[in-house]
Structure 1
């Protein structure tokens, strides 16, 4: 038994509205996508957070972005051993099969996953230390980032810095994948780190030249 329930009425209404308007207006484009397959220009790795609306932020068309979302927009280090590799599989497919030209890691303000990592690494969330905590074991990926910000004076400063570290750790881990490293070194792929201030609507990019995030203007 799957325990799958019917779709809520409000979602059915929204689907019907989309089908009658946007789909009908762009039917030829959807037919093209269905027949020719996808050819996205970029992969976006963003957080599951419902407030992070990637397609709206960049005004993207259907078929333009290959999007992977997970808790705190993290990429694990390259590790062929193990059982499940959802994020790693998405990265592999984007680079080796789809041939994307860009991988964008998008972090954001007020990230619950990052806050949980900070609480766990600070000893304030023992439940996340349990081996049975899926969130805790996933946030272990960000522990190196915590080590780099724990010296900051206040908890607020540490958490704000850790949100950006989530982007940097992911960029670093991406380069541990042989096929990503090869593509970057051969100038067929570029990596980008972004951080979004949800409340202000601002976007910041990581400038490797000065080692800091700068606002996109």
Structure 2
């Protein structure tokens, strides 16, 4: 493993600070989590974007959220084709093994993945159209969303609308999973859509009656 190097010193120092403070002050809780296993109430599906810090937004402690992050917070449709589906596996585990009560899809402003999808679908990112582009093929999940917003004239508004569509598309796709659909229809699981404005610290939620996003 010659490619592996020791942690950068700044990360080592941060770990030691956490171990001496947060961990030391909550040692019993961490041991409880280890001994009793995880029992999160909610699964969070959010973007990989380093600026989206869901646990900080909700003030969550260890053990509260089962978190899955990917480019543009997308959930693909249910495809039992024997392939390797990381997001689908996370959803399956959360619903069938952990029995979470909520799945929350969290989109955000200035999403690079969504902008990439916009540029690809509008013909301005040919590299993403290449079959070898992992990002491009992942963003194909959002192509139906682009079709719904492509006629918005202002580009900034169109991209913002596509960020919302990323959340809506993921929720629609979640309902194609039989175990999700069954849990929702049995009132054992609820789905939620959120969008975070990074600059303003604002949070909007998807209104099921209007299909629009409103302030939390």
Scaled by the length of structure 1, the TM-score of the pair is 0.98
Deviations 1:21-43 (A, max 9, x none): 00000000000000000000000
Distance 1:88 1:148 in 2: 24
**Alignment-derived partner of residue 11 in structure 2:** 11
Q: 1:82 to 1:198 in 2, by over 3 A?
A: same
**Alignment-derived partner of residue 171 in structure 1:** 171
Distance 1:165 1:111 in 2: 12
Q: Which runs of 5+ in 2 are unaligned?
A: none
Distance 1:82 1:113 in 2: 26
The alpha carbon displacement at 1:84 in A equals 1.2
The alpha carbon displacement at 1:82 in A equals 4.4
**Alignment-derived partner of residue 157 in structure 2:** 157
Distance 1:43 1:2 in 2: 36
**Alignment-derived partner of residue 191 in structure 2:** 191
Q: Is 2:42 aligned against 1:55?
A: no
**Alignment-derived partner of residue 180 in structure 2:** 180
Deviations 1:110-140 (A, max 9, x none): 0000000000000000000000000000000
Distance 2:79 2:210 in 1: 30
Distance 2:3 2:76 in 1: 32
**Alignment-derived partner of residue 30 in structure 1:** 30
Helix, strand or coil at the partner of 2:187: coil
The alpha carbon displacement at 1:215 in A equals 0.4
Distance 1:113 1:82 in 2: 26
Q: 4+ residue stretches of structure 1 with deviation over 6 A?
A: none
**Alignment-derived partner of residue 111 in structure 2:** 111
Q: How many residues align?
A: 216
The alpha carbon displacement at 1:106 in A equals 0.1
Higher mean C-alpha displacement, 113-122 vs 205-214: 205-214
The alpha carbon displacement at 1:2 in A equals 5.6
Q: Which runs of 5+ in 1 are unaligned?
A: none
Higher mean C-alpha displacement, 30-39 vs 78-87: 78-87
Q: CA RMSD in A?
A: 0.7
Deviations 1:152-183 (A, max 9, x none): 01111110100000000000000000000000
Distance 1:96 1:2 in 2: 39
The alpha carbon displacement at 1:83 in A equals 2.3
Scaled by the length of structure 2, the TM-score of the pair is 0.99
Deviations 1:76-115 (A, max 9, x none): 0000114211000000000000000000000000000000
